[in-house]
Amino acid sequence: MEHECWGVVLAAGQGSRMAQATGGEAKQFLPYRGAPLWWHPARAMAASPLVHGLVFVFPAGRLDAAEAQALALNAKESLGVPLRFAEGGERRQDSVRHALDVLPESCESVLIHDGARPFLRTALVTKVAAALREGGISGVIPGVPVTDTVKETDASGLVARTPERETLRAVQTPQAFMLSQLREAHARADAEGWSVTDDASLLERCHLPVLVVDGDRDNVKITNPRDLALLSEQKPLLPCCGYGYDVHAYGGNRPLTLGGVEIGGEFLILAHSDGDVLLHALMDAVLGCFAGGDIGRLFPDSDPAFDNVSSVVLLDRVMTLAAEANVRLVHVDLTVVAQKPKLAPKADAIRRNVARLLDLPLDHVAFKATTEEKLGFTGELRGIKAVALVTALRQG
């Protein structure tokens, strides 16, 4: 017989911290894409092949109305699993205990999720449930690495300890537990007067093993008024790309610079600005992502203001225009064509500097240098070329 797992959607909180920003409405009941927040994680949980039913926990004063709303939503868009309902308690752990009381006898494990986490993905539900089914543990919880340094303080506010950040995880839901062990932990909490913020804490106090698996950074909880912006309808991000090409002749008086890195040597550039052919191609490629024109129109060589100006300064202006057009760069692929000088010794420095200028991870910046086998303009050492391909995301 298949292991039976049920999900619990906790939607019984009062939302006092958000009351002023929401007009008094509890956050889990806020409308989002045609349904209250608590309905969205229910969809994600029910879509997992490892979830066999759902329990909704609503505040006592609105249990009947919320149950009717859930049944109406399910009639319109069936979740495909049986639904049960429970009345919330004074504390979160009381609400969980009430949910456990209405689970069927056939249920062996349970997934407990916060109704104010509407961005839950089914993949995370299945990951957590599957890890519990592998056996040998009492609970499985998702967590994401902590990016800020955390300080532990004493009662007076003085720093007592700085935990190793590499060992810390910010915990999310759904949290999966073997039902019999979770019930025993709740019974002990009631008997001994424990008050905890999540069910994993109960198992930890009972010295039962709880595994942390990788969570999902998008699985955020609507907690503070500023989080309400996450519920606003956003235009979709659409992929776009831009192509840039530039060429400069040798024989001028500008030192050769590529990607903001001074190359030096005998080859001097003929140019109005600093003649950084690579950044010029890159700027045109970025502009191409939002039909922003080209650098010849933005920074004409007839304008004395751009005489010997650094291309890094011009690139900063182009990136500002891209941001104003809601364009976010994802990847750049750059190629320089030159017979001489040899650029291999500077390739890594160029790549790293471009990544810094664009605020991109290093593995999202590609740089290559090649020759035209002594043919044509570059092969005859008359100048240097560069091409750039940019991929980006833009709000439609």
Query: Is residue 226 located within the same domain as residue 247?
Result: no
Last residue of a domain, one of 197, 231, 265: 231
Same-domain check for residues 111 and 226: yes
Per-residue burial over 7-16, b if 16 or more Cβ lie within 10 Å, else e, is bbbbbbbebe
Lowest-confidence segment of 157-171, 232-246, 357-371 by average pLDDT: 232-246
End-to-end CA distance of the chain: 49
Mean pLDDT confidence for 292-306: 90
State the average pLDDT for the chain.
92
C-beta separation of 168 from 148 below 8 A: no
Strands 261-262 and 169-171: unpaired
279 in the same domain as 220: no
What span, in angstroms and rounded, lies between the C-alpha atoms of 74 and 315?
53
Specify whether 302 is located in the same domain as 322. yes
DSSP-derived secondary structure letter, 12: -
Report pLDDT digits (tens) over 17-49. Answer: 665 666 668 889 999 888 999 999 999 999 999
Rounded to the nearest 5°, which phi and psi values hold at 69? -65, -40
Mapped onto helix, strand or coil, the DSSP state of residue 314 is helix
- pLDDT higher at 131 or 301: 131
Phi-psi region of 95 (alpha: psi -120 to 50; beta: other; left: phi over 0): alpha
The three-class DSSP label of residue 253 is strand
Same domain as 293, residue 222? no
Residues 213 and 292 in one domain: no
Task: Please indicate, yes or no, whether residues 209 and 244 belong to a single structural domain of this protein.
Answer: no
- What is the predicted pLDDT for the residue at 15? 63
CA distances from 117 to 85, 176, 215 (A): 19, 16, 13
Same domain for 109 and 30, yes or no, is: yes
Task: Tell me how many helices (H) and strands (E) the chain has.
Answer: 12, 19
Task: List the CATH number of the domain containing 259.
Answer: 3.30.1330.50
Per the structure, the complete domain to which residue 196 belongs is given by 5-231
Instruction: Report pLDDT digits (tens) over 180-226.
Output: 999 999 999 999 999 998 999 999 999 999 999 999 999 999 988 88
| pLDDT on residue 3 | 85
Query: Which amino acid appears at position 388 of this protein?
Result: A
What are the C-alpha distances in Å from 14 to residues 9, 92, 211, 230, 386? Answer: 15, 11, 30, 20, 60
Q: Total structural domains in the chain?
A: 2
Domain boundary among 174, 200, 231: 231
Please tell me whether the peptide bond between 225 and the residue prior to it is cis, using omega within 30 degrees of 0. Answer: no
Per-residue burial over 234-253, b = 16 or more CB atoms within 10 Å of its CB, e = otherwise: eeeeeebebebebbbebebe
Q: Whole-angstrom Cα distance, residue 284 to residue 346?
A: 23
Residues 167 and 60 in one domain: yes
pLDDT in tens, 56-105: 999 998 999 999 999 999 999 999 999 999 999 999 999 999 999 999 99
Q: Are residues 184 and 300 in the same domain?
A: no
The pTM for the full model equals 0.62
Structure tokens at 217: 């950074």
CATH number of the domain that residue 83 is part of: 3.90.550.10
Sign of CA dihedral 328, 332, 336, 341: positive
Domain end position, chosen among 204, 231, 258: 231
Residues 152, 36 share a domain = yes
Q: Who contacts 343 (Cβ-Cβ below 8 Å, separation ≥6)?
A: 258, 263, 336, 350, 369
Helix, strand, or coil (residue 229): helix
Identity at 127, one-letter amino acid code: K
What DSSP character marks residue 125?
A: H
292 shares its domain with 213: no
